[in-house]
Chains A and B, each alone.
Chain A
Amino acid sequence: MYAEPAADVGPTEIVAQSDNALAEQAKAGDTRAFEALYRAHVDRVYAICLRMVADIGWAEELTQDAFVRAWRRLEGFRGESAFGTWLYRVAVNVVLAALRTERRRKARFVRAEVHDVGCSATPGEAMDLEKAIAALPPKARMVFVLHEIEGYRHDEIAHAMHIAPGTSKAHLFRARKLLQQMLEQ
């Protein structure tokens, strides 16, 4: 699957192409096309990973994993949805799989420093909310991020997290309550 990019295609031409066209080229092994997809989407993928794990170093690793996973699974992308939509779901699945299987990460999870994850470009209230989200218990944080920020439904979250839809609702209920308490303080 891996191959050198075509020599006659310049970076400007690559950037100008649509995601789906780039994805088709990447499927053929063109890593420059895939790099263009990376450049276009890395900020969003990284934001998802960071909000879900509240740890900068781990979020970087997971972002890399998400793109590597996407590269491996490009054959499964049929262009029926936007490439970004597909890629973000791959990223969410990578994060959830990592959380399920890498129990050794748990200690690191708990130690995550809230101030590490604030977005310097986000002023006032949004900054407080980012910190509060980062301070949520892991599962409550994941459900909140997926439901309230990424727009997933409870049945989708339940499927992805291997929990019952009711449990997803319970986590969201708890997350909202905790956030409101934290923001009122």
Chain B
Amino acid sequence: MKCPGDLLRIDEWSAADRADHVRHCQRCSAAIRLRAAARALPRSRPPDRDLWPDIAARLADESGAGVRERGTRRVWRVAAVFLVLALATAVWLMQRQPDVSWDVARTEGAPVVGETPLLDTGRLHKGEWIETDARSRAALIVPELGEVDVAPNTRVQLVESGLQEHRLTLEAGAIHARIWAPPRLFYVQTPSALAIDLGCEYTLSVDSTGSSWLHVQFGYVALEHEDRRAVVPAGSMCLTRPGKGPGTPFSEHSTAEFREALIRHDFSSEPDALDDVLVRATTTDVVTLWRLVQTVRPTDRSRVYRRLTALTAAPDGVSTAGVLRLEEAAVDAWDHQLGLVFEEWKY
């Protein structure tokens, strides 16, 4: 079950779902252990000395009439202050521009928001950058949608935050996003692709060349650049290159040799790269091979499909001819068999 990123929501699940999720989600598991430990702390602790004599002395100093008098005066003073504040607030609300900003909290070191070091918490306003150095980290709260952990040596800008979309630019470094919003509300632009949240948790990093790595822990993330698109499911990774966009997603358990061949196939014109991909593919890579069946040139489709069916059986009733023509029923049957049931998988 997808991580909602909020223990209160997990508490609403059935015990079986909760236990199953916590078994697989290290973060929730750690947070639940911490919460349990906090709640098991003693609720009481006696002070080292009896405080009552001092309290009694203070009570004795207060006559009933005096207290009531002070209370009445205080009511009038508070009312007057509220009146002034209400008027000032009304004027301010009429004059101000809408404030588009996110809460941001320092988690380590001294991140810089705009040009100001963040000492504790603050606001990241639309158009502002947050920058961390090698020793600093920060947490951004995406209003009502989730949270983003900003890793060291990272530069991120809040581009937009509204009902229709929340958008960051990740220029360098890495972020870890946990989003529990409906799909297509949270976007991160990198130098090589646009990452579109489809309800997920993921890590996205950008290196000095502008290439980015996406690693999805839960749910799905779509990557887009011009007409090149990829949907990356949980447990998968994807490389994007400037000017080229996303490559083919692959399993986080794929071998280094397979990844290297796949990256050559995706981003170079080496004719033997696809052969290497097929030779190095294992049962871990069947989702990647199925993706390649749909994206390679029609003349290469047959040999990719042969390799796929050598690693895993085709769904019942699916013909090779139907797959090679990418007939909808055949594609649906394979998607269903591989667990790729999220509707936005099929662009």
Contact = CB atoms under 8 A, between A and B. Distances in A.
B67 A174 contact: no
Contacts of A140: 105
Interface size class of B (residues with CB under 8 A): 35 or more
Contact of B103 (A119, A129, A164, A178): A164
Interface string B36-73: 01111111111111011011101110111001100100
A176 B38 CA distance: 11
Give the 5 A-B residue pairs with the shortest CB-CB distance, closest first.
Answer: A43-B44, A1-B64, A170-B105, A47-B45, A148-B38
A166 interface: yes
Interface in B124-152: 139-141, 143, 147
A42 B46 contact: yes
B98 to A, nearest CB: 15
A129 B38 contact: yes
B102 interface: yes
Contacts of A2: 59-60, 62-64, 67
Interface residues of A, number: 52
B46 A139 contact: no
Contacts of A144: 38
B30 interface: yes
Nearest to B68: A1
Contact of B58 (A3, A63, A68, A139): A68
Interface stretch (A9-17, A28-36, A96-104): A28-36
A38 interface: yes
Contacts of A64: 51, 54-55, 58
B277 to A, nearest CB: 39
A125 B37 contact: yes
Contacts of B121: 139, 167, 170-171, 174
Interface string A44-60: 10110010000010011
Contacts of B35: 148
